[in-house]
Structure 1
């Protein structure tokens, strides 16, 4: 399933670039999946698949139905949880997005932390990095005491990165 998701996401993101204007966008979801696998030690194929697909609804023409048809409702539900509603005004959109990640459960929190980690590391200037760090701090606020060990380990990695970026 994961190899099919990578191809599906690569086709959906074809022609899109990261904010540097050079890097193919698909590098981001692949890095998010890699962070989950290599840094957060996640082996659950459902989580890794949703990570590769996490920006499809928000940034491509793919929708819940197409994701569900190819990868199942559990993956599609996680992708929806990772997607902002572009129809809403920005302030409300961000508030509702935060709420839906919180309500989506620990798997969505893991993907969000990997997404934040990649965005912090991939920022092309100080302004972008500051915004990415703010979003990472917000993601860390979602962690609850009863979240699984994997979530707390991922949070520790993200916290360490943020600490390393603070001026001494």
Structure 2
């Protein structure tokens, strides 16, 4: 059997099996050769890198006591970092504002962070995108889900990118870490709802949409 298997969350990333070369140091990183100049990835400017790292530090602090709803109790910070990973490694999005907003996208919805605080620390554009990605927790869950479908098309391009990456991360995660208490019907309804949201923002990023559609076709 092949010594490597694909990670469900990041299909392009091979991961070693747990019993393969335990204790061995990881091989040195080697950047893949580009087939053309169009494939060359330009580095994020220093200021942009600082913004992304600041966002990661802030999100890690605000989500530090939170866990995902799966049976493993996965640290919640894995999710926003995973969304940013999908944007960079699959959608080739390197805009620092988009990445910072992706990392921060659940801080207002799921912690005591405010939009004013995000605006003060990260600027108005990041704050606006985070606001677009934030559900109003004072509303019933079914109303919030309906509003996501109804409002997604009116959101900014950068917010739409985050919506796509967020949904992709979540449905991949669902295939390996089912939230506690979810039965088959609820899982299927979640896939259908995600597809409805994605249908409102098609044309945003072909790569992410194809990855989502592949899963929708299998699960819906």
Q: In which range does the TM-score fall when normalised by the shorter chain? A: 0.7 to 0.9
Q: TM-score, normalised by structure 1?
A: 0.86
What is the aligned residue count? Answer: 162
Q: State the Cα deviation string for residues 8-39 of structure 1 (Å, max 9, x = none).
A: 00000011000125211000000000001101
Which residue in the other structure is 2:135 paired with? 84
1:114 counterpart = 2:165: yes
Alignment match, 2:145:
94
Partner of 2:197: 139
Q: Distance in 1 between matches of 2:135 and 2:168?
A: 18
In the TM superposition, 1:4-15 aligns within 5 A as: 4-15=54-65
Aligned-partner Cα distance in 2 for 1:53–1:114:
13
Report deviation, 1:70. 0.9
TM-score computed with the length of structure 2 as normaliser: 0.67
Counterpart-to-counterpart distance in 2, 1:152 and 1:143: 11
Say whether the 8 Å CA contact 2:90–2:207 is kept in structure 1.
Answer: no
Moved over 4 A (4+): none
CA distance in 1, matches of 2:192, 2:153: 17
Contact 2:152–2:201, Cα closer than 8 Å, also in 1: no
More deviation in 126-135 or 32-41?
126-135
Mind listing any 5+ residue stretches in structure 2 that lack a counterpart? 1-50
Partner residue, 2:31: none
Distance 2:60 2:173 in 1: 19
Give how far 1:134 is off. 2.2
SS of 2:196 mapped into structure 1? helix
Q: 1:152-163 to 2 correspondence within 5 Å?
A: 152-163=206-217
Can you list the C-alpha shifts for 1:34-90, whole angstroms capped at 9, x where unaligned? 001101111111111110001011100001011111111111111111111111233
Give 5+ residue unaligned stretches, structure 1: none
Q: Which has the larger radius of gyration?
A: 2
RMSD over aligned CA atoms reads 2.0
What SS does the aligned partner of 1:117 have?
helix
**Paired position in structure 1 for 2:86:** 35
Of residues 25-34 and 84-93 in structure 1, the stretch that sits farther from structure 2 once superposed is 84-93
